[in-house]
Amino acid sequence: MLKSKFRKLLIPALAIGAILMANPAASETIKIGAVAPKTGPLAGGSTVTHWPSIQLWVNQVNAQGGLKLKSGPAKIELIEYDDRTNPGETIKAVQRLATQDKVDFIIAPYGTGFNLATAPIFAKYGYPQITTTAITDKIPELTKRYPNIFFTLGDTTAFTKSVAEILSKMRDDGTIGNRVAMVNVADAFGIELANAARPIFKSAGFEIVYDKSYPLGTQDLSPVVKGAKASNPDAFVAWSYPPDTFGLTALAKIENLNVKAFYTAVATAFPAYQAKFQSAAEGVLGAGGVNPDTPEMMAFIKAHNEVTGKAPDYWASPVVYASLQVLQQAIEGVGNKDRAAVSAFLKENSFDTVIGPIKFNNQNNEAFWTVGQWQNGKFYGVSSTGRPGAKPVKAKSGW
């Protein structure tokens, strides 16, 4: 049995009472389940990008009286599980939500491998699975196999091509040479990105002078960074998860791995990254990005701070929130809890979100940010597949 189950309505009891007085018909509830790490190696990422955006959304929906169904407003009852960064626990928790808790909808889990591991369960019980932290080139295959899965964050090739294009422009401008040191975390996310990057970098005329993987949860990354520095690279690229993103950057600074193009993946967009490395973060490239200066993003950042007490990141946080806006619009568009109808609505409509419009083509959102960069204290998107507002890339000037 999972030990870390807990249920809570993310709105104070007094506030619920006030809502019920103002909306006496708002007595129906809608059960929504969520599974993601609160402990384990990926908890540092999910507790920044995943859980707070869910908390914000549930708080806002319930404060407005609930989801608007044809039968009347329905407040959200959120049932949460900690999967402890263990795919087996994720599978068991999703199964439990479907068969024992009998929730109406389930929020997609955190991480590429965890989404792929649970996709059969979502499909078996007919739950729409709007992934927000899954990057894969298997999207066409997966959407054919699972009619209820939707992808919002992008595909592996787009991310690696964008990095190659940025490096190519920097090389064409005479900023860097063609020697690349590449490392990756050895799980589904990092392995797939590294496999995609090798031929793409080679085709772009780059020489991968160092190519190293390391297990998820590796505590000592100093051999990786020392090996990268010894290869005398012009650019450093890490397909990394949050703990190693921070660890690799700290060691690069210590070892003076001084390259003008320094890229780390997940968590580079975290406010904590800039807070930890301060001026050294300036010019660091990373996965994702956003245009933080739009009115929608500024309102999201403000609300996120007020409700959760912490700042969102500049990539996946708004994507998680946007996916919940999409789910809300689909449920309210259908007007009831019919999951099959909601999945059909997702396929046929476009949705207004904090990151801009989302429209699924063959269950895939094709407009997404791919690369961002720390510039003047914000992590701006510098490359995308169709999102406006990209900033020009700057060379990193050292640590």
Alpha helices of 64-207 — where are they, by DSSP H?
A: 87-99, 112-124, 139-145, 156-172, 188-203
Report d(CA 243, CA 265) in Å as an integer. Answer: 11
Question: Residue 17's pLDDT is what?
Answer: 40
Q: What 3-state DSSP class applies to 18?
A: helix
Question: Residue 257's pLDDT is what?
Answer: 97
Fold of 157-292+370-384: Rossmann fold (3.40.50)
Q: Do domains 6-155+293-369 and 157-292+370-384 have the same CATH topology?
A: yes
Collect contacts of 340-349 with beta carbons under 8 A, ≥24 apart.
340/126, 342/105, 342/128, 343/126, 343/128, 343/147, 343/148, 346/128, 346/130, 346/150
Q: Is pTM beyond 0.85 here?
A: yes
Name the DSSP class of 392: P
pLDDT tens, position by position, for the chain (399 residues)?
333 333 333 333 334 344 444 444 446 999 999 999 999 999 999 999 999 999 999 999 999 999 999 999 999 999 999 999 999 999 999 999 999 999 999 999 999 999 999 999 999 999 999 999 999 999 999 999 999 999 999 999 999 999 999 999 999 999 999 999 999 999 989 999 999 999 999 999 999 999 999 999 899 999 999 999 999 999 999 999 999 999 999 999 999 999 999 999 999 999 999 999 999 999 999 999 999 999 999 999 999 999 999 999 999 999 999 999 999 999 999 999 999 999 999 999 999 999 999 999 999 999 999 999 999 999 999 999 999 999 999 999 999
Question: Residue 108's pLDDT is what?
Answer: 98
Question: Residue 137's pLDDT is what?
Answer: 94
User: Which amino acid belongs to residue 184?
Assistant: N
Question: Residue 166's pLDDT is what?
Answer: 98
Report d(CA 272, CA 91) in Å as an integer. Answer: 30
Answer yes or no: are the C-beta atoms of 155 and 136 closer than 8 Å. yes
* Domain boundaries, given as residue ranges, for the chain: 6-155+293-369, 157-292+370-384
Considering the domain 6-155+293-369 in this protein, what is its CATH number? Answer: 3.40.50.2300
DSSP letters, 146-188, are -TTEEE-S--HHHHHHHHHHHHHHHHHTTS--SEEEEEEESSH
